[in-house]
Chains A and B, each alone.
Chain A
Amino acid sequence: MVIASPRIAPAGSDISIRAVSHRFDLEGAPLPVLDDVSLEIQPGSFVALLGPSGCGKSTLLRLVAGLDHPSAGEITVDGDRVADPDPSRILVFQDPTLFPWRTVRANVALGLEAQGTLKSEGAASMTPSGLWALTVLTVPIRTSCRAAWRSGWPWRVRWSIALTCCFWTNRWASWTA
């Protein structure tokens, strides 16, 4: 079976992390995690952050995703300062947390639903790129079943959610923590 690869914008996002420091305010004592981190990521590049457990990789990703705000420094994506999470920047979490009350299909459609595109454009908005992600990644899964999961499924669905959302917004900035 040949699956047509969806058209992706030739360039992804230009991510720039400038002098970012971050600390968690635990009870009483602040816990510094990042100290003056700077990083330039060119559009379309594939970057892997490596480091021992607890060194702040996930923290940096959460900052880029907009889930947390850096204590100091600035993060911009295509020149825009990151203030809030945005579907153009997808984060795949460490645990394949899925919404157990939703079916696989509804889980995958979550991003489209959240952005209101599913309602306004119906199931048609799932094609072709979103459907591609759904098809490729969830081939052995009955998409109408509830998210009562067998081993291996959650990850496929998790990625499918991220990719569906990504393809829809036609950008390529996706990380896994």
Chain B
Amino acid sequence: MTTIDIEAEIRAEPSPGAAHRATLLASLGWVAAVGVLLFWPDLTFQPLVRELALCWSVVAAALVLLGLGSRRLGRVGRWTAARAPWLLALGIGAAIWTGLTAKTGLLPQPFFPTPQAMLAVFLYDWPKILYSASFSVWLLARGFFFGAVAGFLIGIGMGWSRAFSYWATPLLRYVGPLPATAWLPLAFFIFPTSGSASVFLIAFSTAFPVAVLTWSGIASVNRDYYEIARTLGASPLFLITRVAIPAALPHVFVGLFMGLSTSFAVLVVAEMLGVEAGLGWYLQWAQGWAAYANMYAALFVMAAMCSGLITLLFRIRDRVLVWQKGVVRW
């Protein structure tokens, strides 16, 4: 609810030339972080102190500009203005982080890396991280695609055909709830490459929720839709593709969200145990070298990847289900 209040305050403020005070205040947080970084001596030698100070100064300067020109910058201005408290909190957080790690050592050193060390990781190891991230996304995309398609088709078959449902339901009930990771040791033996084994595991974990929700979606379609279409001369194929599937799509998307979240877990475990690339592997590899900063970097990128993919799916859903706006929310 607080965000709404903030937005209301922002809208209530008059005069288009006026500066946005909260954004200017946020820049002070980053100035404080730069101050802590430069004028408080480090316990031990830290790399890239000046470079990091430069980065944070750039953030502070950008916030000053955004604050001054908030009303004239349109969407960008509004976006920053609405997030000013967060931007302030991030600046203060950076200052506290620096203080706790590099300056006082309250958080012991190799386990809780300093911000300078994190910058060093991204600066020197970014090709490897980027390659790992793209490998993970590609692996996930293949697995998720096959799993979603398979689950969707199984769900339609079960929702539509009684015979198919008779044979598929017990299998789905019995095998489906099994965590895909339980297949891991077998999958790496059965499949020729660890990559194809991972694709199978991710597809498996995605297919189950998608199948169940597609099925329930089709089963819960209002019968009147079918009867209306039938009186208008619809063929069975038309009933499936133009009535059952569009009506079931909201459920299908719930299944896709569930499948995507479980597939993240499978992806990371598969990469840690068998696949010789990807963020999960990078995490494991960094642990082997006791490179804690690299592990945090991998986690950071992994979080960005997962939330980015979820956001992408949300965008797709909002576009596909635009008719549903205001009807159902979950």
Contacts and interface: CB of A to CB of B under 8 A. Distances in A.
A96 to B, nearest CB: 10
A32 interface: no
A97 B228 contact: yes
Interface in A75-134: 84-87, 89-91, 93, 95, 97, 99-102, 110-111, 113-115
Interface in B33-48: none
Nearest to B235: A114
B323 A114 contact: no
B225 A99 contact: yes
B242 A146 contact: no
A99 B231 contact: no
Given A97-B222, A99-B243, A99-B246, A114 B232 contact: yes
A97 B222 CA distance: 9
Contact of A93 (B228, B234, B235, B327): B228
Given A99-B246, A101-B246, A111 B232 contact: yes
A146 B322 contact: yes
Contacts of A63: none
Interface string A54-88: 00000000000111000000000000000011110
Contacts of B327: 100, 148
Interface residues of B, number: 25
> B interface, by DSSP: helix, strand, loop or mixed?
helix
B224 A97 contact: yes
Contacts, number: 69
Interface string B318-330: 0001111111000
A63 to B, nearest CB: 13
Contact of B231 (A67, A113, A148): A67
A147 interface: yes
A89 B231 contact: yes
B238 interface: yes
Among all A-B residue pairs, the 10 with the closest Cβ atoms = A87-B233, A111-B232, A114-B234, A85-B230, A97-B224, A115-B233, A101-B323, A85-B231, A146-B323, A101-B246
29 contacts: A67-B227, A86-B233, A89-B231, A91-B227, A91-B231, A93-B224, A93-B227, A93-B228, A99-B225, A99-B247, A100-B324, A100-B327, A101-B247, A101-B249, A101-B324, A102-B323, A110-B229, A110-B232, A111-B232, A111-B233, A113-B242, A114-B232, A114-B233, A114-B234, A114-B238, A115-B233, A148-B323, A148-B325, A161-B232
Interface of A: 65-67, 84-87, 89-91, 93, 95, 97, 99-102, 110-111, 113-115, 146-148, 161, 165
